[in-house]
Each structure stands twice: as structure tokens, then as C-alpha cells.
Amino acid sequence: MTADRSATGIPAHVLDRADVREALARHDFGQVFALVRKWAGISYSKIGEACGIKPERVGALARGVGSITSYEKIAQISDALLIPGWMMGLAPRVWECFPHGESPQLLADDRWDGDSSVHRRDFLKAATVGTGFAVGLRLENGRYRVGSHFPAVLRKRTARLRRLDNVLGGGDTFRIYAGEYKATKALIKDGMYSEATGRELLSVLAEQAQQAGWAAFDAGDHAEAGRLYEASRAAAEQAGEPLLAGNAFAFLAYQRIQADPAAAVQLATASCEVAGVAAVGSAGALLHERRAWAHAIAGNANETARALDDAQQALVAGGQEPDPDWSAWVDESELQIMAGRCWTELRRPLRAVPILKAVLADFDDAYARDKALYLSWLADSYLNAGEVEESAVTVSRALDLTAGVASVRPRQQLSRVLGGLAEFRTVPEVAEVFEKLTPS
């Protein structure tokens, strides 16, 4: 194998094609395989052998049938393709950083700090070797000297890894995000750096804690999510980052919304107050839309409408500083989706259905978890409007998207709609949905 070819024998000029790179960015490996066969003439058998996939499976993916959703399989394919930075500069998988293939629990407390076979400094060293992560670090007398530019390197790395959440569920991403959080936490404890660099490291740590907390929440581990959100809030306050601290409150509100809507409203309101004048642009819109969501779950229609208006105004207003990466995904479509969700919860289907239908018409199936979630609210609104058949068809589409997604949230949301559809089992479309749920 030469340096300019992957394990599959794909020439570098093919891997550098815009259509191939774009398909890789979407993790659409079926499209990648089809393009490789077209432009490099490599058989599906050879691709399958290199990637650890049966040739018939490669062919099916290339025809658009099915998708690759597990982190382990995505990592295996990426190793075969050998594309530097193919997936946002992913570090060695967390379980590769430990001796003898151990895969420890990654928790937000200090369980690694005691008498353990895995020590913070060893983990940090393993996580930095050979990844480019060590640029800006220098070992002095057994401690890392952290350069002033290194927090920016970490922040960019965190932003790249955040893209995983677009296509993978928390069950697949938690180990990665928790590993990043732990490595930075170890660096803050054991490293040497200036006061200004220390504040920047704490700011990155707050971001990473939120990212790991979101993955834990998405995977159904609410206790771990809560610990990480609280850790994020504390780090953000230490760093003097009111916007990040406000986002930590917003995450806590989002997590507790079903169990205690009143408390969630208080937390969501506090998130905007803590952020203060910094709550503008996409970050401000995110905080206000989560405040709207809390009010919707609590049944406060007027407050929901006001919060949605505040979100819209924040998005339009923007600020002098660029939007942070952690909120850059919030755009007009996201605000419309949140509005549709809110009106669904408030049992206003005449408002919710047109909004959700319009946005979901152009929503890419590659974002399977999120699309399934949004379809579940559309199905709920259809059911509230008495459109049983449309509700069942929409649920069926959502169920197809959830196959293989490591997230508990779509199934939890769909279960509510399925409960409402249960009394209409004699309707053919509903019967088909429940037949799909019956194990073969």
C-alpha cells in the first residue's frame, strides 16, 4: 500500500473529489462506495473485504438501501479509507487508550482519581500521542506545560467532534465526549499554565461537559447528564463565561422538563438571566427557545409565544462576536421546528402541523434521530387533529429512521403517540404500524 492510497486501494485523487468528501461528511458510506466504484473501478467485493462488510451489503448500501449507524462500524470503515481528519479529526477511540482492552466507565465525578489502574496523566498521555493533540504541550518535570494557544486547539477539536451528534446517538458518542472531558479535566489539574490560559481551559471544559452531558441524556442516563451539566455550570462560572453558564442552566431545564415542568421553567428563565446581554445570535435564540419549550410543557401558551418571539429576535439581532460553535446549528428552520413542537404540546394542531410539515419536507434522512423525533411531534399533532391515518403513516416513517440509532428519545416520544393510536387498530394504516412493531 502506497502513501497516497487507502487500505481499499482508492487513489488519493478519488478520495479528494468534492462529491466523495461531501458523502463522507454526511457519513453516507453507500454513496462513497458507489462513487469509488464509478471513479476508481474498485469492486464491491474488494471494498467489502477492506471494510469488513459483506459484498452484498456494500452493494445494498451503494443502492441507497440501509445505512451505517454504529460508531464501531463507522470507525472500522474510516480506518480502511485512511483519510486524515475523515470524521472531524477523531482521536483514537477511548477504549484504545487503556491497557489490555479495558473499557472503564466514564463518569463526571472523580472515580478515576483514586487507586486505579488508569491514572489521569496516563490517560492524557495516551489520548495525545499520535493525534496532533499534543501540539502546544511540553512535558516539564513530569507535568505538562500548556501553551497559550492550546485552548483554541482544544476548542476546535471539540467543535469537530460535536458533528458526531448529527448522525450518531448518545449511546455511541458518550464514551468519546466523556473521554475528552476527562482528558481536559486532568490537564487542568496536573498541567502548568498562565491564569488567562487556565480560564480558557475552564471554558473548554464547560463546553465538553455539556457535550458529554447531552450524550448521556440522549442515551437515557439522566443522573450522569445532571452531574455533567452541574460540572459545566461550575466551570463556566469559574471561567467568567455567562453565556456558557446560561446554557448549562438551559440543559438542566431541558433534562428535568418532564419530571418537574415548574422547576424547568425556573431553570430556563434563569438561563436567560444568567447569560444577560450575551444572549444574542444563535446562542441567545437557543436559550429562549428552550425557555419556550419549558413553558409549553407547563401549559403556559402566552409565555410560550413570548419566548418564541424572543428567540426569533435574538437570532435576527446577532452580536458583534461570531456565534459559538455549540449554538451554530440554531437557525430559522430550528426555530420553526421548536415552534411546531411547542404548539403540539399545547394541543394546537392547526398551528403545529403546517410548520412541521414545511420544515420536515426538506429535512435530510441522514439526521435520523432528529428527524424521527420531529416526525413524532408531527404524528402527535395529526392524532390531536383526528387525522389517524396520517398519524400512523408518519409514525411508520419515524420508526424506520430509528432503526440502529443509539438514542432512547425517539422511541420514548413515539411510545406516547402509539398509545394514542392503540384504540384505532382496526384502521389499516394503524394495523400496519403495530405489525411493524411485532417481532417476526
- Whole-angstrom Cα distance, residue 22 to residue 86? 11
Residue 259 main-chain phi, psi, to 5 deg: -75, -35
Does the pTM of the predicted model rise above 0.85?
no
Collect all residues with Cβ–Cβ distance below 8 Å to 211 and sequence separation of at least 6.
158, 161, 162, 165, 177, 180, 181, 326
- Whole-angstrom Cα distance, residue 438 to residue 93? 36
Counting residues of the chain whose pLDDT is more than 70, the rounded percentage is 78
> Taking residues 54-79, what's their average pLDDT?
76
12-81 CATH, one of 3.30.450, 3.40.50, 1.10.260, 1.10.3470: 1.10.260
Q: Is the pLDDT of residue 95 over 50?
A: no
- Whole-angstrom Cα distance, residue 391 to residue 172? 30
Q: What is the pLDDT of residues 1-20, one digit of tens each?
A: 333 455 566 776 776 677 77
Asked if 199 and 233 count as a contact pair (C-beta separation under 8 A), the reply is no
Confidence of residue 318 (pLDDT cuts 50, 70, 90): confident
Q: What is the pLDDT of residues 386-433, one digit of tens each?
A: 999 999 999 999 999 887 777 888 888 999 999 999 999 999 999 999
Q: Is the pLDDT of residue 96 over 60?
A: no
In this prediction, residue 99 carries a pLDDT of 36
Q: Name the packing angle between helices 388-402 and 428-437 (round to 10°).
A: 20
Q: Which of 200-204, 307-311, 346-350, 436-440 has the lowest mean pLDDT?
A: 436-440
In this prediction, residue 75 carries a pLDDT of 62
Q: Is the pLDDT of residue 132 over 70?
A: no
Q: Where are the domains of the chain?
A: 12-81, 92-239, 241-330, 349-440
Distances, alpha carbon 148 to alpha carbons 73, 137, 197, 244, 279, in Å: 37, 10, 6, 21, 27
Most confident of 141-150, 169-178, 334-343: 334-343
> Taking residues 73-87, what's their average pLDDT?
55
> Taking residues 187-193, what's their average pLDDT?
90
More confident residue, 50 or 251: 251
In this prediction, residue 120 carries a pLDDT of 39
Task: Work out the number of other CB atoms within 10 angstroms of the CB of residue 284.
Answer: 27
Q: Is the pLDDT of residue 382 over 80?
A: yes
Query: How wide is the angle at C-alpha 313 spanned by C-alphas 259 and 244, nearest 5°?
Result: 55
Counting residues of the chain whose pLDDT is more than 90, the rounded percentage is 50
Distances, alpha carbon 96 to alpha carbons 49, 135, 149, in Å: 23, 20, 27
In this prediction, residue 85 carries a pLDDT of 34
- Whole-angstrom Cα distance, residue 10 to residue 233? 46
In this prediction, residue 266 carries a pLDDT of 97
In this prediction, residue 207 carries a pLDDT of 97
Confidence of residue 145 (pLDDT cuts 50, 70, 90): confident
Q: What is the pLDDT of residues 230-270, one digit of tens each?
A: 999 999 999 999 999 999 999 999 999 989 999 999 999 99
